[in-house]
Amino acid sequence: MTHPLRQHIEEIIDLTDEEFEYIFSHFETVKKRKHQYLIQEGEIAQKEYWILKGCVKSYFLDENGKEHILRFAMEHWWITDYESFVIQTPSNIYIDCLEDCELLYISYENRDKLTSEMHKMERFWAKKSKLGRIALQKRILSLLKNSAKERYDLLLEQYPKLFQRVPKKMIASYLGVSRETLSRLNS
Amino acid sequence: MTHPLRQHIEEIIDLTDEEFEYIFSHFETVKKRKHQYLIQEGEIAQKEYWILKGCVKSYFLDENGKEHILRFAMEHWWITDYESFVIQTPSNIYIDCLEDCELLYISYENRDKLTSEMHKMERFWAKKSKLGRIALQKRILSLLKNSAKERYDLLLEQYPKLFQRVPKKMIASYLGVSRETLSRLNS
């Protein structure tokens, strides 16, 4: 059976068996339990994760200790704190597990090595990075432009599975609305 | 004298004279007058611009015709609607010139050609894309977390030149505050 990571990469570039084996040798597997952290504020992100199983959230805490959710990630999504990972500076955010998770990860050094050695992998991650940038631009447009109701509908349309897996108060935090507002939207 | 685009690219990767000449042959130059558009809502972005001289803004119009500014760009910055350019779908935004501008641009086809042919250029634009993504993440954090005063101070610290070149009402739009609030912050 084709490894899901290979299927995922081959949505963008084709690989030979040897190429995938070589790429895969740069990854490690790790299991995390619900509530465990992938990164905490103040740490430098050394790993980019690819989710085999489970669901995580990234968020920051404001000065009052209130959680603001940046994004969720589920099966076959990449996640790290890209600011910390790319520039290798201390992170301002947390990423933790909403469920027991099984993850692949690649270290900063191995990712840099792979992209230097293999034009194909540079191209793969460049495409992923471009798509990530687009998702963030959409989020900004949505925060500036859409009502809470519109943001809710957009999220429901894009990620219907999220609503079955993630507590409502977290959806509210992601949308930047109160839990009460969300209850109204939800009814 | 070294071309400013070469200096700019060589901040990330080294180029031979032949390589730069080849790269540069994929660019065109264009002059635009103040108020002219680089892209308008509904068009598919076919060009990525690099600013030689001048200042532009990207924005969208909400249903009431109100302008919300996404970003500014000045000398030696790249700009296009990345969502439209990368996925080749109709744009939701406008980009227009705040001053008379001199620009280099590369077409979608030529950019794809260059990045396919030259691993170095794939790497260069991948790095640029990663940095663009980080800037957007910072913007989201700032919109969710910081007060108007903090957002103002951050912008002033990051881009002091903007405040000399851009009308105050546009700074207010970028920050998501009213012009009156900005006047208070500014005094």
Length of chain A: 187
Residue of B83, B114, B121 to mutate, testing the A interface (most A Cβ within 10 Å of its Cβ): B83
B49 against B164, higher pLDDT: B49
- Give the single-character DSSP code of B180: H
Closest CA to A85 of A120, A68, A110: A110
Share of chain B above pLDDT 90, in %: 66
Q: How far apart are CA A30 and CA A34, in angstroms?
A: 13
Share of chain A above pLDDT 70, in %: 99
Torsion of CA A59, A60, A61, A67, to 10 degrees: -30
DSSP string, A113-165: HHHHH-HHHHHHHHHHHHHHHHHHHHHHHHHHH--HHHHHHHHHHH-TTHHHH
Instruction: Please compute the mean of the pLDDT values over residues B13-36 and round it to a whole number.
Output: 98
Domain B4-117 class in CATH: mainly beta
Coil, strand, or helix at residue A168?
helix
| Minimum distance, in Å, between the CA of residue B92 and any CA atom of chain A | 9
Q: Which of A82, A116, A176 lies at the smallest CB-CB distance from B133?
A: A82
Is the pLDDT assigned to residue A56 strictly greater than 90? yes
Please count the residue pairs, one from chain A and one from chain B, whose beta carbons lie less than 8 angstroms apart.
Answer: 90
| Minimum distance, in Å, between the CA of residue A3 and any CA atom of chain B | 26
Domain ranges for chain A, please list them.
Answer: 4-108
Per-residue pLDDT band for A187 (boundaries 50, 70, 90) equals: low
pLDDT in tens, A88-137: 999 999 999 999 999 999 999 999 999 999 999 999 999 999 999 998 88
Residue A116 pLDDT:
97
Is the pLDDT assigned to residue B180 strictly greater than 90? no
Is the pLDDT assigned to residue B187 strictly greater than 70? no
Residues of B in contact with A115 (CB under 8 A): 123, 126
| Minimum distance, in Å, between the CA of residue B136 and any CA atom of chain A | 6
Does any CB of chain B come closer than 8 Å to the CB of residue A60?
Answer: yes
Residue B35 pLDDT:
96
Torsion of CA B109, B25, A13, B108, to 10 degrees: -20
Q: Which of A122, A136, A144 lies at the smallest CB-CB distance from B133?
A: A136
Residue A143 pLDDT:
80
Q: How many alpha carbons fall within 13 Å on the CB side of residue B157?
A: 6
Specify the range with the lowest mean pLDDT, choosing from A20-24, A131-135, A157-161: A157-161
B56 against A150, higher pLDDT: B56
Strand ranges for B74-124 from DSSP E: 78-79, 94-97, 101-107
Does any CB of chain B come closer than 8 Å to the CB of residue A92?
Answer: yes
CB contact (8 A) between residue B145 and residue A86: no
Is the pLDDT assigned to residue A185 strictly greater than 80? no
Residues of B in contact with A126 (CB under 8 A): 115, 122, 125-126, 129
Neighbouring CB atoms inside 10 A of A52's CB total 17
Residue A95 pLDDT:
98
On average, the pLDDT of chain B sits at 92
Q: How far apart are CA A168 and CA A156, in angstroms?
A: 12
Residue A52 pLDDT:
98
CB contact (8 A) between residue A143 and residue B143: yes
Topology of domain A4-108, CATH? Jelly Rolls (2.60.120)
Residue A176 pLDDT:
79
CA distance between the termini of chain A: 43
Residue B129 pLDDT:
94
Residues of A in contact with B134 (CB under 8 A): 82-83, 86-87
Q: In this predicted complex, what is the ipTM?
A: 0.87
